[in-house]
Amino acid sequence: FELKQNVPNPFKEETIIEFSLADASNATLTINDVTGRVLKVVRGDFAKGANQISIDSKELPARGVFYYTLTAGEHVATKKMILLQ
C-alpha cells in the first residue's frame, strides 16, 4: 500500500494522484479542505499494483491547500496538495 504525492504539485488545471495496492480491493479517496470539510469523494474497485485518479481543478471550490486521504481496508494515508489560480 502506497499513496504518492500528486503530480504536478502545486497545480492549476489538473493533477494526478497515484497509489499502489497490495491486492485488488475497494478504495476511497477523500479530498478535504484545511478545515476538514469533505469536498470530493472517489470510490471504486481498484487493481492490485499501480492505480491513478485524475482531479480537475473545477471539481474543487477554490484555490488553496487541500488534503487527500486514501483508505483501502485497514490502510490509510494522507498527503497535502496545493491548487494555484
- 15-41 mean pLDDT: 97
As a residue count, the chain comes to 85
Q: Phi and psi dihedrals of 60, rounded to 5?
A: -110, 145
Burial class (CB in 10 A: 0-12, 13-18, 19+), 29: buried
- Record the pTM: 0.95
Q: What is the 3-state secondary structure (H, E, C) of 39-85?
A: EEEEEEEECCEEEEEEEEHHHCCCCEEEEEEEEECCEEEEEEEEECC
Is a pLDDT exceeding 90 seen at residue 85? no
Kindly report, residue by residue over 45-83, the tens digit of the pLDDT.
999 999 999 999 999 998 999 999 999 999 999 999 999
Q: What cell does 73 get?
A: 481496508
